[in-house]
Structure 1
Amino acid sequence: MTDTRSDRIAAYIGLGSNLDGPRTHVSRAFSELDALPLTQLAGHSSLYASTPVGPQDQPDFINAVARVFTRLSPLALLDQLQALEQRHRRVRQRHWGPRTLDLDLLLYANLEWQTPRLTLPHPAMHERAFVLIPLAELAPEIVLDGYTAATLAMPHQGRDLRRLVP
């Protein structure tokens, strides 16, 4: 079987970490995404530092967005992402709490889908600078609700988010 981009789905994944060396967790996750079954890393944004959403009694986050090409179904990809979180010793102590690695499936091609486990596109991505700005850096032409990621990111520039130098 040929391994061409045309027979795989482009998916976008939001990455975040604020515990135990968050920059290392996110950077390591890029290569680990590339090693997932039937999946290849096709690029990623810069790393960004952001203030936490929700409880403020926790460290700032390191965030990024990655693009992968995959043959996995949305739920199979979600399973792989959650297994990767577990390998980073992710513990879910409270909603919006600190974590070693958080991986959110943001987009899966142009699929609109809702199940008890997964909603695509990710329902809150339009309001989050830590998703929109890295997504716009990586794929400014992606269309969400009739607007490009670049257009949606503009009002969020400079809001509790700073690009980190390599």
Structure 2
Amino acid sequence: MILADAKLDEEDFIVCLGLGSNVGDKESNLLKALDFIKNGAKVFSGISPKHKSPLSDVKISGVSSIYLTSPVGNENQPFFLNCAVILSIQAKSYNNIDDFSSFFHKLLSFLKNIEKIMGRKEYSVRYMPRVIDIDILFAYNVSSKKYIHIDLPDLKIPHKEIFKRLFVMFPLLDLINISNGFILKKPFDKESIKKALADLKKTDAGASQKISYYAKFDENLRGIAR
């Protein structure tokens, strides 16, 4: 679903996020996370000055359908609900890679704060149940038609496991199919993702991953439309 009031233009760059939940009311958790992202500056200013959002001028431009997916890495836990989100950002405010790195560190911190406030627990091992999980998948400059690459110890963009996860690629295909006029280049264009999906399904890791359509969000991102 592309939001009618969020248009992409040549001054924008886009960020794609992946969201997932498998604890408690999973539908409500996804909706709450989207609300934090959509209204982040307003919400966080009432919590703590430290949590001032870097998303003041960022819009949610599109959201995928919701998918019911099997857990990866630790099968002894509930299934997840997963979706993907496009954010549009005014690129003219960021002149070089140092600016981008600074922005994405702030964005990462903001998203981690959402996870914390929503009650996500920290574990010493990976692949544990979580109220909410929010990952930065990739970022793309619409004007230059180039992806933003950041390779730091605590921040790696694009996400290194995109092509290993059905629960990431299915929502990405949704976003590409409903895109509002922008065309992504390889490796995150439609044909590349479809090929990666086909290749993954041929592997044991891919065959073990289960995924099915679950529902859509309503137009205001306030409920689930089945």
What TM bracket, shorter-length normalisation? 0.7 to 0.9
CA contact (8 A) 1:139 1:149 kept: no
Q: Secondary structure at the match of 2:88?
A: strand
Question: 1:56-81, CA deviations, whole angstroms, 9 ceiling, x for partnerless residues?
Answer: 11100110000001357221111111
Q: 2: CA distance between counterparts of 1:20 and 1:96? A: 17
Equivalent-residue separation in structure 1 for 2:60 and 2:71 (angstroms): 26
- Percent of aligned pairs sharing the same letter: 23
Q: CA offsets per residue over residues 1-23 of structure 1, 9 Å max, x none?
A: xx974433200000000001112
Give the letter aligned to residue 16 of structure 2.
Answer: Y
1:32-111 aligned within 5 A: 32-36=36-40, 37=55, 38-71=57-90, 73-93=103-123, 94-109=125-140, 110-111=147-148
SS across alignment from 1:148: helix
Query: Which consecutive segments of 4 or more residues in structure 1 shift more than 6 A?
Result: none
User: TM-score under structure 2 normalisation?
Assistant: 0.65
Match of 1:161 in 2: 211
Aligned length, in residue pairs: 164
Structure 2: which 5+ runs fail to align?
Answer: 1-6, 41-54, 91-99, 141-146, 178-182, 202-206, 216-225
In 2, the alpha carbon distance for the partners of 1:5 and 1:100 equals: 34
Gaps in structure 1 of 5+ consecutive residues: none
Partner of 1:22: 26
- CA pair 145-34 structure 1, distance change in 2 beyond 3 A: closer
Q: Highest Rg: 1 or 2?
A: 2
1:152 counterpart (196, 207, 213): 196
Letter in 2 for 1:23: E
Matched residue of 1:98: which SS?
A: coil
CA RMSD of aligned residues (A): 2.4
2:84 partner SS: strand
Are the equivalent residues in 2 in contact too, given 1:14–1:104 (CA < 8 A)?
yes
Tell me how far 1:28 sits from its aligned partner. 2.2
TM-score (norm 1): 0.87
